[in-house]
Chain A
Amino acid sequence: MSASSLFLCLVGLGLFSFFFGRRRIHKLASGAHGVSQKQHSRDVYHASFLVICATFIPIVLLVVWTGVSPLVIDALLESFLKARANTASLGELNVMIAKTKAYYAGSISAAFIDDTIAEATTYYADLVARSLQARSLAVLLLAIAGAGLGVRKIALRFTARHSVERVAQWIMLVASAIAVLTTVGIVLSLIFETIRFFATVSVSEFLFGLHWSPQIAIREDQAGGSGSFGAIPLFAGTLMITLIAMVVAVPIGLMSAVYLSEYASPRLRGVAKPGIEMLAGIPTVVYGFFAALVVAPFLRDGGADIGLTLSSESALAAGLVMGIMIIPFISSLSDDVINAVPQTLRDGAAALGATHSETIKQVVLPAALPGIVSAILLAISRAIGETMIVVMAAGVAANLTANPFESVTTVTVQIVMLLVGDQEFDSAKTLAAFALGLVLFFITLALNILALYVVNKYREQYD
């Protein structure tokens, strides 16, 4: 049976178990007499319990089997072909495996295959069919056995309510495990590819090299650079643009947060807060062309008027626009934490004769500081990860410069540049993207941990 029809069977069995379980407990209850035989759990829990018994484990088995069996079958096919063809070349073996599968699927005609492949195809087809049969059998048997065991457990004093509770808990656990495992998987793949990258490029060259030009000849005879992978210019560019963005966003965001939470009338606040938050809803690509087509030319012309030479793609333009983009992160989060500072603290300061601004400066902001710091760190993470604005407004040339009027590039932009277009998956150029990604990951991870630490250490417990 195919996976979907098997699944449908399980759904049918589940439905049946539900009604069967309900009927059964109902019957037991109607025959009961006296307090000692009072039903422990409501009917619906007994019914749910039976559904879980009948379907939960079979569904897990179905998913796992469907995921794992192709891997096992492929491994078996590979060893079969290895034994038959006695070829040492991995490439040839892979071609044979591909051919076998293609022939099995019917996408190539018999004219293109030799006897070995034909034999392998028979073997492969046999494996697939047996796996499917075994899967159907195992799933259905488990479902029926589970249902049978469940039916035997249903009784008046059976604590079905607690059993269902435990299963619910397990489902939540699985849900959170999926999120965590995905992260772990991504990080592991980053790490492994990075290790492969460092087999061709040394760690010190990558981390401390001053020159970035990842062009690599794809074929031996092709003209092209040998490639150099010094990432310092990228980190310098990222740092500069992030710095410019924060110089714009932190004061503006913080002051607008203070204004909104401490001074603005409720009506103005009701209009202004969503207005600022709308900035966060603008797609970054829109910010990008705003930066490239409006801000950058404006800066260039303005610079020319006062005798400065700005390139038309500059770190300044990208940083300014990125700063605007992250204002809502800082203002909205800070506004929330400022509002969370209890009114009694403000009253306390006012009753001592502090003016409104003194109260804000000396009492409210210090009390809200942990939250504000974590808002800023979050905004920095966002700025570091931002790509689109930089591609459009700051350029792609890896210049190592401290001059914000020149074009620079960032880590994220270079990841994009490395992965667009044709490339081999195992060339150093492609693998460099993983190394850059890993470094970025560690930077944002460190910032997030720092934010958590700050919040936990300096948080005041009100109530």
Chain B
Amino acid sequence: MNDTTDPKIKIEARGVDVFYGEAQALHGIDLDVNANQVTALIGPSGCGKSTFLRCINRMNDVIDGCRVNGNIAIDGQDIYSSDIDVVELRARVGMVFQKPNPFPKSIYDNVAYGPRIHGLSQSREQLDHIVESSLKRAGLWAEVSDRLSASGTSLSGGQQQRLCIARAIAVSPDVVLMDEPCSALDPIATAVIEELMEELRKDYTIVIVTHSMQQAARISQRTAYFHLGNVVEHGATQQIFTNPKNQQTEAYISGKIG
């Protein structure tokens, strides 16, 4: 799973604090995410890994009383600076949620939604092309090509999640954030999506929050272990899982805490 070429840093987080009202959820997170790799965020529930994930596309903005300090840069550009347009940022940083959340629209309209609101296509043919290629990359095309006008909510859970992935990549983001994307899925659907991630990382940088150690070990190149709002340890996945430097990490990975 090791990459031969020296990876380029895509996301650079420095000293990120997050407060929900008075409560501090993250304490000075420093973390680099490499381009075209899968980075797994692991840790016990409530450790702040999802909070950190939601900082990367500023989804925390909509939560009342949430405050973010510190620096997060994507391609060297600070995403919390005042000249950043959140709407454009989120087009560059896609997100897939824990529970599949297709819109109550047709499969086609689900995928076409992003390209439409961002004006990515000039013609119907172009839009058709975007929808088809996104569904193909999400590995869903073969299953739905004959019923694109069916409702997105009529699909099975695994298909819905792949539809959400197709929806996210239809706007050609640089980064795809995944918040426990397989937690609501059965092992077969999970395997399909894990395969998909390996495929997708050729074009996208992927950050995934997961509760499954095996999943983190299988799919990621780098892993960060979060505990109580701190990054305890981060590094190459192989090293974290075979030779963790920190006792806490070792205890979590071997199932002693968590």
- Determine if A347 and B97 form an interchain contact, defined as CB atoms under 8 angstroms apart: yes
Summed over the interface, the residue pairs from A and B with CB atoms below 8 Å come to a total of 63
- Determine if B103 and A363 form an interchain contact, defined as CB atoms under 8 angstroms apart: yes
Query: Cα distance A25–B105 when bound, in Å?
Result: 62
With contacts A367-B103, A460-B104, A461-B153 known, is A352 near B97, CB below 8 A?
A: no
Q: Is B117 an interface residue (CB 8 A)?
A: yes
- Please pick, from B91, B101, B102, B105, the residue contacting A347 in the complex, using a CB distance under 8 A: B101
Q: For residues 157 through 216 of chain B, which have their beta carbon under 8 Å from a beta carbon of chain A?
A: 164, 167-168, 171
- Please pick, from A353, A363, A366, the residue contacting B87 in the complex, using a CB distance under 8 A: A353
Residue-wise interface mask of A (334-372) relative to B, using a CB-CB cutoff of 8 A (1 in contact, 0 not)? 000000001011011111111100100011001100000
Q: For residues 82 through 131 of chain B, which have their beta carbon under 8 Å from a beta carbon of chain A?
A: 87-91, 94-95, 97, 99, 101-105, 113-114, 117-118
Residue-wise interface mask of A (244-287) relative to B, using a CB-CB cutoff of 8 A (1 in contact, 0 not)? 00000000000000000000000000000000000000000000
- Determine if A353 and B97 form an interchain contact, defined as CB atoms under 8 angstroms apart: no
List residues of chain A with CB within 8 A of the CB of B94: 351-352
Query: Cα distance A349–B91 when bound, in Å?
Result: 11
With contacts A350-B90, A353-B88, A353-B91 known, is A344 near B101, CB below 8 A?
A: yes
With contacts A351-B59, A352-B168 known, is A342 near B101, CB below 8 A?
A: yes
- Determine if B104 and A367 form an interchain contact, defined as CB atoms under 8 angstroms apart: yes
Tell me the smallest distance from the CB of B248 to a CB of chain A, in Å.
Answer: 31
Can you name the residue of chain B whose Cβ is closest to the Cβ of A367?
B104
- Please pick, from A348, A355, A362, A367, the residue contacting B97 in the complex, using a CB distance under 8 A: A348
- Determine if B59 and A349 form an interchain contact, defined as CB atoms under 8 angstroms apart: no
List residues of chain A with CB within 8 A of the CB of B95: 351
Query: Cα distance A353–B58 when bound, in Å?
Result: 11
Q: Is B249 an interface residue (CB 8 A)?
A: no
- Determine if B118 and A353 form an interchain contact, defined as CB atoms under 8 angstroms apart: yes
Query: Cα distance A354–B167 when bound, in Å?
Result: 13
- Determine if A344 and B103 form an interchain contact, defined as CB atoms under 8 angstroms apart: no
Interface size class of A (residues with CB under 8 A): 10 to 19
With contacts A347-B59, A460-B153, A461-B153 known, is A352 near B114, CB below 8 A?
A: yes
- Determine if A349 and B88 form an interchain contact, defined as CB atoms under 8 angstroms apart: no
List residues of chain A with CB within 8 A of the CB of B114: 352-353
List residues of chain A with CB within 8 A of the CB of B164: 348
- Determine if B99 and A344 form an interchain contact, defined as CB atoms under 8 angstroms apart: yes
Q: Is B57 an interface residue (CB 8 A)?
A: yes
Tell me the smallest distance from the CB of A368 to a CB of chain B, in Å.
Answer: 10
Most B C-beta atoms less than 10 A away, residue of A348, A349, A362: A348
- Please pick, from A348, A353, A354, the residue contacting B101 in the complex, using a CB distance under 8 A: A348
- Determine if B101 and A358 form an interchain contact, defined as CB atoms under 8 angstroms apart: no
Q: Is B62 an interface residue (CB 8 A)?
A: yes
- Please pick, from B105, B153, B171, the residue contacting A352 in the complex, using a CB distance under 8 A: B171
- Determine if A349 and B62 form an interchain contact, defined as CB atoms under 8 angstroms apart: no
- Determine if A362 and B59 form an interchain contact, defined as CB atoms under 8 angstroms apart: no
Query: Cα distance A395–B202 when bound, in Å?
Result: 75
Query: Cα distance A348–B59 when bound, in Å?
Result: 10
- Determine if A353 and B117 form an interchain contact, defined as CB atoms under 8 angstroms apart: yes
Query: Cα distance A367–B151 when bound, in Å?
Result: 12
Query: Cα distance A363–B101 when bound, in Å?
Result: 11
- Determine if B103 and A345 form an interchain contact, defined as CB atoms under 8 angstroms apart: yes
Tell me the smallest distance from the CB of A345 to a CB of chain B, in Å.
Answer: 6
List residues of chain B with CB within 8 A of the CB of A347: 59, 97, 101
Query: Cα distance A352–B94 when bound, in Å?
Result: 6
Residue pairs across A and B with Cβ atoms less than 8 A apart, 12 shown, are A344-B97, A349-B113, A350-B62, A351-B94, A352-B167, A353-B88, A353-B91, A353-B171, A354-B117, A358-B117, A363-B103, A461-B153
A-B contacts besides A352-B171, A353-B90, A460-B153, 14 pairs, CB < 8 Å: A344-B101, A345-B103, A347-B59, A348-B164, A349-B103, A350-B59, A351-B90, A351-B94, A351-B168, A352-B91, A354-B87, A362-B117, A366-B105, A460-B104
